[in-house]
Amino acid sequence: MNRTGKLVIGAVVAAVTIGVATSALALWAANSDATADPIPVGGISFAATAGQGGAVPQYSANGGPVTLTLPGSEIAKVLDGTDPSPAPVIWRFTAEGQAEGITGLSMDVTAGSQIAPNGAITDIGSGIAARGTVLAFSTLRVYAASINGDCATLPEVPETDPGKNIYLYDSTDHVLQTAGGFAGQPVRQQWCVAITFNADPPGAYANEVQAHGIAANGDRVSAVDSWRSVVAFPPSLDASGIYRNHADVVGVAMDGTASRASDQFEARVYPDPNAEPDVTIVLDPKVTNLNPTVSAGDRFTPTP
């Protein structure tokens, strides 16, 4: 919305005013319609920036949505975790905007689609990722960062809406700048995208040893010891299949004796996580107004 759209007062002024001064009534009587000069009362701008450090802001055109791209390579990083409870992968984006005068800005943040390297597109507006992708085995949360841009506190998955891969928090009519609250500089908000792999929880391997013995004086002695080992399940995609190999070898010695041997080995084949689709995140700005008769949206439309 780098249109710096100027709100204009006065297009066509009709003779419907009641209770004005007599001189004004005379004017309306002389000319039933009058075109007033446009009066700019404020500018509006909205942009979003993907990632951190040197990224170029993407500006809204004519109040339309801005689409950011979360690279599939970032999502695939969840497979790198080897700890029993690995930290989530964090990706960030920034929304910024300004609305002068009596206007303000809010926005809707939605999940758009998965775009595979081969061009295949999957709509993920429902929160369900395409089967076989890393995201389909993960949980992706989109939420506004806390103070100082901190993303460490992950919001809980709603108990009333389980089973999805993508959750967005406070993402509808999210206030970027309150109406009439322009303070001379654009407002900036950092947002977090946290990705965690839905791996099986770590288990524990318990061991216990008992020892019994007889001392030199004939006394019986015993001891018990136990220890536990944490068993983690490293994140991975479902295997595509098993590649089996079988080899038979026959050799003939100098005396004509034949020797035979055979062996079999197999390898489990997994999909390539480097082919993980990108994910689009859509930010759709809305202009709000201190005037309760003006509805929020891309245009200044009075409410009937």
Same domain as 281, residue 239: no
Q: Is the distance from CB of 75 to CB of 276 less than 8 angstroms? A: yes
Q: Tell me the backbone φ, ψ of residue 29, rounded to 5 degrees.
A: -65, -35
The structural domain count of the chain equals: 2
11 inside domain: no
List, for residues 19-66, the tens digit of each pLDDT value.
Answer: 333 333 333 334 445 455 554 455 889 999 998 777 889 999 888 999
Same domain as 150, residue 241: no
The dihedral built from the CA positions of residue 155, 159, 162 and 167, taken in this order, carries a sign that is negative
Alpha-carbon distance of 262 to 250, in angstroms, equals 9
Tell which residue, 174, 16, 58, has the closest CA to residue 107.
174
Model-level pTM greater than 0.75? no
Same domain as 101, residue 80: yes
Q: Is the distance from CB of 301 to CB of 294 less than 8 angstroms? A: yes
Alpha-carbon distance of 195 to 140, in angstroms, equals 5
Same domain as 229, residue 286: no
Tell which residue, 272, 279, 214, 269, has the closest CA to residue 244.
269
Same domain as 242, residue 96: no
13 inside domain: no
Same domain as 75, residue 177: yes
State yes or no: pLDDT of 301 exceeds 50.
no
2 inside domain: no
List, for residues 235-272, the tens digit of each pLDDT value.
Answer: 666 666 777 788 888 888 888 888 888 888 777 766 67
Same domain as 58, residue 196: yes
The tally of CA atoms less than 13 A away on the side-chain side of residue 221 is: 8
209 inside domain: yes
Q: Is the distance from CB of 46 to CB of 282 less than 8 angstroms? A: no
Same domain as 226, residue 165: no
134 inside domain: yes
64 inside domain: yes
For 86-108, what is the mean pLDDT? 94
Q: Tell me the backbone φ, ψ of residue 112, rounded to 5 degrees.
A: -95, -80
3 inside domain: no
Same domain as 215, residue 66: no
34 inside domain: no
Same domain as 120, residue 167: yes
Q: Is the distance from CB of 104 to CB of 287 less than 8 angstroms? A: yes
* 2-11, 204-213, 219-228, 279-288: the lowest-pLDDT one: 2-11
Same domain as 186, residue 107: yes
Question: Which residue is it, tokens 């080992």?
Answer: 229
What's residue 272's pLDDT?
A: 73
List, for residues 117-140, the tens digit of each pLDDT value.
Answer: 999 999 999 999 999 899 999 999
Could you tell me the residue range of the domain that residue 210 belongs to?
Answer: 203-246+262-269
Alpha-carbon distance of 202 to 232, in angstroms, equals 4
264: number of Cβ within 10 Å: 9
Same domain as 118, residue 161: yes
Tell which residue, 59, 151, 147, 52, has the closest CA to residue 97.
59
